[in-house]
Amino acid sequence: MLALPPELRSEFKEPFGPVFSDAESLLSAAGRPIVAVGDVVTYHLREAGHEPHVAVVDGRTERETVTEEIRLALEDAEHHRIEVVNEPAELSRELLLSLREAVDAEENTLLLVEGEEDLATLPAVLATPLGGSVVYGQPGEGMVLIDVTESNRATMRDLLVRFDGDADAALAALGV
């Protein structure tokens, strides 16, 4: 549905919010619900005693398979599970629809991505209710907290519409 054009890659180098190295500090600053993008972030939130409402994972971190400890901890999570396919540097219709469904659901949901979940942060901010939070990993730095505000939604929407593909259909899939 959407593909990240090469000229837009630099927009993702800097964190979109404050970076935390401690999950408990992050959790005290975060709104609810929390949507976690990434295996390691999800693992750290769970270890700190918080089940994210939605966790988007792909079994990888920094292009490598996650450790056995993280994999087993995420498999143990009591979440509704949805499997989706999402190619690297893309946002599939399946991922967008499933993300919206998961955010709207009463139960906690684990989105298991075959491919890559790195770009799911953008649609997660658009799908999460105002006052909620999206957390993702910043390689080598920690966990980034994005408060879901109108301003942050506008930033993510502005990035999303610059992707190659049908941005209007993508926004419609997210209910935006």
Residue 3 lies in a domain: no
- Between 39-47 and 68-75, two packed helices, what is the crossing angle to 10 degrees? 70
Kindly indicate the confidence band of residue 140, based on its pLDDT and cuts at 50, 70 and 90: confident
Residue 106 lies in a domain: no
* Angle value at C-alpha 169, between 165 and 170, nearest 5 degrees: 75
List residues forming the annotated binding site for GTP. 39-41, 58, 117
| H-helix or E-strand spanning residue 133 | strand 133-138
Mean pLDDT over each residue of the chain, to the nearest integer: 93
pLDDT mean over 63-80: 78
Structural domain of 158: 18-94+115-173
Percent of the chain with pLDDT over 90: 84
Residue 6 lies in a domain: no
Q: Is 173 helix (H, G, I), strand (E, B) or coil?
A: helix
Residue 40 lies in a domain: yes
Residue 12 lies in a domain: no
Residue 10 lies in a domain: no
Residue 47 lies in a domain: yes
List residues forming the annotated binding site. 39-41, 58, 117
Q: Which residue has the higher pLDDT, 139 or 26?
A: 26
Residue 137 lies in a domain: yes
Q: Which residue has the higher pLDDT, 103 or 72?
A: 103
Q: How many domains would you assign to the chain?
A: 1
